[in-house]
A and B are shown apart, each in its own frame.
Chain A
Amino acid sequence: MMLNDLPYPDWHEGLTIQGVIEHMNYTWPKLVTKVNGQLVWPEDYGNVVLQENDDLKIHHLLAGG
């Protein structure tokens, strides 16, 4: 599995987006994520199970100007 264009070494069966967020210690409160190019809404982070060949991108939703 890829996370932000780098191999993610801790993929395992049943891993969810929420699992990656917690494992990688993302603390930013508002994220924008996509799996294989498709946006995933925040309420689904705990439901989307990642496959071994999935491409996950996690971006911070920014507000500075």
Chain B
Amino acid sequence: MALTLKEQQRYKRHLMLPQVDEAGQEKIKNSRVLIVGAGGLGSPVAMELCCAGVGTIGLVDFDVVDISNLQRQLLYTEKDVGKSKVQMAKERLAAMNSDVNIICIEDKLDESNATEIFENYDIIVDATDNFDVRYVISDTCVKLNKPHIYGAIYEFYGQVAILGGDGPCLRCLNPEPPKQGEIVEAKDVGVFGAIPGIIGSMQACETLKTILGCGKSLKNRMIFVDMLNMTFDEVEIPKRPRCPVCGKGEN
């Protein structure tokens, strides 16, 4: 679908970039991105993609806004406390860009519904807060051959990678999620307020680059961000030949 005159004006600064231009902006407009989790990471991801003109954004979250979310979850305001996250997010995003189609999925993601939900989207952004759902996202992205834009945070630290598709996947890094009780629940861990904004924006950037096919993406790589000491590190993730999901699974 070609850009309207209004869209040409709105995305003028994108159109000036040779890596985007009018053809790229049309790709962004015609893309469908699912964001799993509408919290600390999901907020900046949704806002960036909405501003950038992604045509359809799906948001999955079952939670309501808590006052303790407001320290870092940029989508929400004081009047939203106690209300559905995805519904409040939809209102906020619609006010930012009324041309974007926002789809609310007010549900918990698990093995029973992931495939049906993911089938309607081109790219899956992982902005959830626990390993169990992250492994469901990873397995489903491999099954459906969709990019998995991984982002995670803890205290002053964060990491971003592009997994999924034809691999590597999360199980290539670590074959199984931690057992129940091995990891402290997200709600019991401190998070420095600016961290989700940084990591979520990196996820949004990699999502848009994936849509456009420009630059060197984070596919097969993970970036580690230490904002306490302001350092970055990265590692290349090889596909595990015996990965039970994206490899041959001999083991």
Contact = CB atoms under 8 A, between A and B. Distances in A.
Interface of A: 5, 29-30, 32, 34, 37-39, 41-42, 57, 59-65
Given A61-B174, A62-B157, A63-B183, 8 more contacts: A30-B177, A30-B178, A32-B174, A42-B174, A59-B233, A63-B129, A64-B152, A64-B191
A64 B189 contact: yes
B107 to A, nearest CB: 17
A65 B151 contact: yes
Contacts of B130: 63
Q: Which of A34, A60, A63, A64 has the most CB of B within 10 A?
A: A64
Given A29-B178, A39-B238, A63 B186 contact: yes
A32 B235 contact: yes
A64 B73 CA distance: 13
B235 A65 contact: no
Interface in B177-209: 177-179, 182-183, 186, 189, 191, 196
B237 A39 contact: yes
B233 A65 contact: no
Contacts of B159: 59, 61-62
A63 B127 CA distance: 9
B11 interface: no
Q: Which of B153, B179, B235, B240 has the most CB of A within 10 A?
A: B235
A64 B129 contact: yes
Nearest to B130: A63
Q: Which of B129, B154, B158, B182 has the most CB of A within 10 A?
A: B154
Nearest to B179: A29
Nearest to B36: A65
A37 B183 contact: no
B134 interface: yes
Given A32-B235, A39-B235, A65 B174 contact: no
Interface stretch (B21-29, B39-47, B51-59): B39-47
Nearest to B187: A64
18 contacts: A32-B173, A32-B174, A37-B235, A38-B236, A39-B235, A39-B237, A42-B174, A42-B175, A59-B233, A61-B152, A61-B173, A62-B158, A64-B152, A64-B153, A64-B154, A64-B189, A64-B191, A65-B153
A61 B37 CA distance: 18
Contact of A65 (B41, B157, B173, B179): B41
B193 to A, nearest CB: 13
B210 interface: no
A7 B134 CA distance: 34
A65 B203 CA distance: 12
A48 B26 CA distance: 49
Nearest to B185: A64
Q: Which 8 A-B pairs have the closest CB atoms?
A: A62-B152, A65-B129, A29-B182, A29-B178, A65-B41, A63-B131, A62-B154, A64-B186
